[in-house]
Structure 1
Amino acid sequence: MNFAFCTCVTSDYLGLAQATFQSLNDTFKGEARYLSLVVDDNYTGSKYAGFEILDLNEIDLDSYGEELLKVKEESLSSRFRWMLKPILLQHLLKRFEAVFWVDPDLYFYNDISPVTQKLESFDVILSPHWRSFNPFVNQNAFFNYFYHGLYNGGFIGVNRNTVDLLENWLEMMHWRLENNRELGILDDQGYLGLFPLMTEKSYIIKDRGHNIAAWNKQECKRTLVDGQVLINKEHTVKFIHFVPDTIKNILNGKDKLLRPHLRKYLEHMLEIEPGMSQLRSYDVNLIKRKTRKALPLKATTYP
């Protein structure tokens, strides 16, 4: 199956996308294809094997062009990039049989090909948040199933059978793109819960080593087995979602078993951008100090 990964960034966050691509490329033994749409005006950047930079002028915005460009004029906001998500996926499905949206703050450690191969028989792949199922253990996380949705918008896979579904998703965002707890709407992400109703061929990732983040500590327990960090004592860490709370929890000791993973991410980011402006909100020296004595991260494995 001919497939690719993609994301959308402003140029000052391109370093994150490069790190994401390189981590993917390592797990796919140099065979990953990754396309990053950079939305800044007149941005010119280099491309290299497997990594391609797209310009907004290359994308057909169709009937939403006027609205999107108006939003873009206001700012290169998250709202603008969220609306571009289904448009970019539709655009790339003309070139590839299947495409995965990958947020630029994801970092990959182990092989995810068993999941990517599912798009040969399924049309959509969704990644659950795996927030706490027990309101007595973590009430806020439980409530967020209803406020923030069942599935995470940072990792989504689609194939060519989803063109209409993607169009419907874009229509939903055109209708309302907001964080409205009263209505149970969270930006583009809240609508993902409808996807399994819109197509019977939806695959929900069951391996809880995927999309590890601050919000799934209860349901995706980090465990140490024979010196290796596993999730629920059985799943290797496939990829981590390094949102601010994930990094904060690792540094303050609430998620310290993930320190070797953060250290690898940090070292990679420092190679790409020594100034670390991509992680400007963190004290880089603190990250170094906290992760210096972390357990060694075992080499990437392939099944």
Structure 2
Amino acid sequence: MNIAFTLCSINYLAQAKTLHNSLKLSNPDWKFIIGLVDKNEHNVDLSFLDCEIIEVGDVPIDGFEKMINSYSIVEFVTAVKPFYFTHFFKKYENADKIIYFDPDIMVFAPLTNLEQKLDEYDIVLTPHFTQPITDKHLPTEKHVFNTGVFNLGFLAVKRSENTFKMLTWWENKLRTECILDLTRGYFVDQLWMGLVPAYFDKVLIDKYPGHNMAHWNLHERTLKGTDNKYTVNDLPLVFFHFSHYSPSKPDEIAAYHTRFSFENRPDIKDIFEKYRNDLLTNRYYELKKVPCYYMRNEKKKKFKKSVESFIRKNLPLKAKMMLSRLLKKYS
């Protein structure tokens, strides 16, 4: 059995449903699971999702409460990713290959190419792009230095001891260091994955242009086709990542993107229109309003991090050590 899954809170379920529909159409033999990093305290009717849903509270995670209390929702959603992989391998003993997709992805073709690569490799990663950027528009190569060469909106692994070792290492990192703080060199789960090709064997850096096409690699990839049948650089498009796209801004490819527009890239207009229509069909605006259970203390967490950042930047080392001892003593 092959499993594909995504992680999100209720306010992202329109994206997850859109992903599921596309996967079911193109890969009906793959089992799809939504990892719900939320609690359905508002009794939202989730039956329309038509797939298995596993709440994060049902996944064995050592240090779960501490993660909830210290992480922002973005940090928490990304931190639980390796724990879900491990849980699925244990729960489904016949699961051989597991793929994670961010909820804002659509799958347009069979995953045969990836299945074949997982026959040979244990871990498959996709770099953000594979050709140099020569202009000054966003995103730049420097952004990749800061946030990670590999995009963790996608990760494919195969059942193996090598994979289990990687997941254990990744869990240990993300339990306490899935931090969103570029000033300290942290970018949630993604930057850690840059060490995987050095630490573990049988890791494929997959440069196939039809895998993980997104706004950050448009400079090297051209789309053709319509009606669910697309090619990238004349090869089949397998999945497209609509990262940072908002249906509320239909004329904008992505936030933080200045390189292209739909005017100078008419080749991608059709696929974005399709994605927007599917999101609206799948209750985007209704679900977007549902507050996430684990966001209750976001302001308190943000204030605490601001104080910690101020102390780290302004106090001398000796004072920081003394303060750290006092906090441990009275915590």
TM-score using structure 2 length: 0.72
Map of 1:98 onto structure 2: 97
Distance 2:17 2:49 in 1: 12
Corresponding residue to 2:81 among 78, 85, 89: 85
SS in 2 for 1:8: strand
Query: Any idea what the Cα deviations from partners look like across 1:23-75, whole Å, max 9, x if unmatched?
Result: 011111x222111121322456556897211123321112x223123247xx6
Map of 2:122 onto structure 1: 123
Alignment of 1:1-303 (within 5 A): 2-28=1-27, 30-42=28-40, 46=46, 51-62=51-62, 64-71=63-70, 77-94=73-90, 95=92, 96-130=95-129, 132-135=131-134, 141-161=140-160, 162-181=163-182, 184-222=185-223, 230-232=231-233, 234-244=234-244, 248-249=252-253, 252-273=262-283, 275=285, 278=288
Change in 2 beyond 3 A, CA 1:256/1:71: farther
How many residue pairs match? The answer is 271
Contact kept, 8 Å, 1:131 with 1:218, in 2: the verdict is: no
Distance 2:15 2:139 in 1: 29
Tell me the CA shift for residue 272 of structure 1. Answer: 2.0
Contact kept, 8 Å, 2:118 with 2:158, in 1: the verdict is: yes
SS in 2 for 1:31: coil
Map of 2:313 onto structure 1: none
Change in 2 beyond 3 A, CA 1:241/1:279: farther
Distance 1:40 1:140 in 2: 31
Structure 1: unaligned runs, 5 residues or longer: 281-303
Deviates more, 1:197-206 or 1:40-49: 40-49
Return the structure number with greater relative CO, CA threshold 8 A, min gap 6. 2
TM-score using structure 1 length: 0.78
Tell me the CA shift for residue 113 of structure 1. Answer: 1.8
Tell me the CA shift for residue 261 of structure 1. Answer: 0.9
Contact kept, 8 Å, 2:14 with 2:287, in 1: the verdict is: no
The letter for the 2-side match of 1:8 is L
Deviates more, 1:84-93 or 1:245-254: 245-254
**Percentage of pairs with the same residue:** 23
The letter for the 2-side match of 1:53 is I
